[in-house]
Amino acid sequence: MLRKLNVSQAAAKLDQPFSMANVARVGDIIVSIYICQGMLKWHKHLDNDELFWVYEGTILLESEWGEVRLRPGELAVVPKGVEHRSSSRLRASVLLLRCGFIPERKNGRRRLYALAGEARLKRTSLHDAVRALPRPFQFQTVARIEDAVVQAAWGEGTWPVEIPAPHDLLLFVLEGTATARTSQSMLHLHPGDFTVVPQGTVYQLSTTKGAALVWVTREGVRA
């Protein structure tokens, strides 16, 4: 049975700066919501990439790869091994995506860590990515974290989804409204709402005019 979650409702339960709650799991990826208010100390993660996706407020993400200021609907990935810190003068709600355990390392498949100064942090606007797509239901990959991709698309009507779902899928409503149906449940989702469609689920997905969706799933499902 599908379960509806909402970013604002989950964030409202967190009353301390930099408090965090795990809200969903998509395959190997843990989705957390945390409150950025104040400044964290410099640190780095040797085993996991981290994706910062701002929902409310603004944060400054500083790193050995430079800094980016993230506003609602914008995200950036800090690769494993890159020292970084996040800060915000006012309370900001952030979705944090990271691998739940040390991923299997295979020769030629993953690098163990990124080098300081090797590249620069990239800020991605989900709204801009959606507006740049010329056709409906055309998912564009906007970020990668471990074996997962974050993709965005727009469209109205019934979506051409793969059934049964080949992998766990996090479905997030960016704009408009969406309806997700299974044989056991039906969810009406609005901006800020999301759900996880488990692997093997037979489901239907439809949206209203002006809808834009973001989903997170295993890389290779869509390009």
pLDDT of residue 100: 77
pLDDT of residue 120: 87
Using the structure block, give the residue that is written with the tokens 């409503």.
173
DSSP per-residue codes, 73-120: TEEEEE-TT--EEEEEEEEEEEEEEEESSPPPP-TTT--S-PPTTSS-
Task: Give the residue from 162, 169, 158, 167 showing the smallest Cα distance to 196.
Answer: 169
| 127-218 has the same fold as 5-102+118-124 | yes
**The pTM of the whole model exceeds 0.75:** yes
pLDDT of residue 1: 84
Domain range annotation of the chain? 5-102+118-124, 127-218
Quote the tokens at residue 51: 């994706």
Return per-residue pLDDT of the chain as tens, 223 residues. Answer: 899 999 999 999 999 999 999 999 999 999 999 999 999 999 998 888 999 999 999 999 999 999 999 999 999 999 998 999 999 999 999 999 998 765 554 433 445 667 666 678 999 999 999 999 999 999 999 999 988 999 999 999 999 999 999 999 999 999 999 999 999 999 999 999 999 999 999 999 999 999 999 999 988 654 4
pLDDT of residue 115: 67
The distance between the two most distant Cα atoms of the chain, rounded to a whole number of Å, is 50
CATH says 127-218 is which class?
mainly beta
Tell me the CATH number of domain 5-102+118-124, given options 2.40.50.140, 2.40.30.10, 2.60.120.10, 3.30.1300.10: 2.60.120.10
